Amino acid sequence: MLNPESPIPLYHQLADVILTRIRSGEYPRGSRIPSENSLAADYGIGRPTARQATEVLVRKRVLVRKRGSGTFVRARKEKEVDLFSLAGTISSFRDKGISLRTCILEKTRLERISQNRENPFYGEKAYFFSRLSCVEDMPVLIEDIYLHPELFSGIDRIDLEMRSLSRIVKEEYFMRPAGGKQNFRIGYLSGEKARSLGVLSTTPILTVQRFLHFSQARNAVYSELFCRTDQFVFSQSLFQKRET
């Protein structure tokens, strides 16, 4: 229910409720949401307040009004993104003509890695930062990234906001990945990560472990990606090995 004592306006509270139901799949893409009269009755508010709430989401291009039919969750034609190329996340989206906005969730810091024994830096120090990527204000993935402390010395002094990590590695450190591997699982998020990605703790998330090798060191970059597959189809190109 809505909280009339909250400093957050009621229409914003209702907009957040509708958005949560869209992200959880309760209101699937292309489906009609309840009418403004129904929303007003369900939440004990006036119809103008319900109208304001839906208008917020129309302006964000989450909902679309259809004259004579009602208000619908905007249907998005699924776009396929080769998220797992060595070119990097931002380049993968731009190659498809998709504008991606990234923001830093946790700033770069040098720390001792004490969790997740699958992390190649476990028990040692590594640079770490976390970033969120959004398309049209809709969060699509979170990346937790770990970097070799000697090879990437000073990266904590570089502004990574809206910058391609692969380009920084190439232009600032004069290195290119020589190969790597990736592991895929289905997982779940909770707490701040779930809130940042806009999902519930029960929402299945595609999780990827990416290990990048360089000529200077194996596993010099390790990342954990948490991807919302309701927004994009994430693909990986496969190449047949030549026989020798």
Examine the pLDDT at 244 and tell me if it is beyond 70: no
Tens of pLDDT, residue by residue over 109-138, are 999 999 899 999 999 999 999 999 888 778
Residue 242 lies in a domain: no
Q: Do residues 63 and 118 share a domain?
A: no
- CB-based burial label for 138 (10 Å; 0-12, 13-18, 19+): middle
Query: Cα dihedral angle (127, 206, 135, 189), rounded to 10 degrees?
Result: -70
Distance between CA atoms of residues 117 and 106, nearest Å: 21
Shared-domain flag, residues 145 and 221 = yes
Q: Tell whether the model's pLDDT for residue 43 goes beyond 60.
A: yes
For 84, the domain range is: 79-234
Are both 83 and 69 inside the same structural domain? no
For residue 89, being part of any structural domain is answered with yes
Residue matched to tokens 């009755």: 41
Does residue 99 lie in a domain region? yes
Higher model confidence: residue 230 or residue 27? Answer: 27
Q: Does any domain span residue 3?
A: no
In this prediction the pTM is: 0.65
Domain count across the chain = 2
In a domain, residue 159? The reply is yes
57 & 135 share domain: no
| Buried/exposed 145-177: b ≥16 CB within 10 Å, e otherwise | bbbbbebbeebeeeebeeebbbebbeeebebeb
- pLDDT number for residue 242: 45
Q: What CATH number did the domain enclosing 67 receive?
A: 1.10.10.10
Q: Is residue 5 part of a domain?
A: no
Residues 220 and 103 in one domain: yes
Q: Are 71 and 197 in contact (CB under 8 A)?
A: no
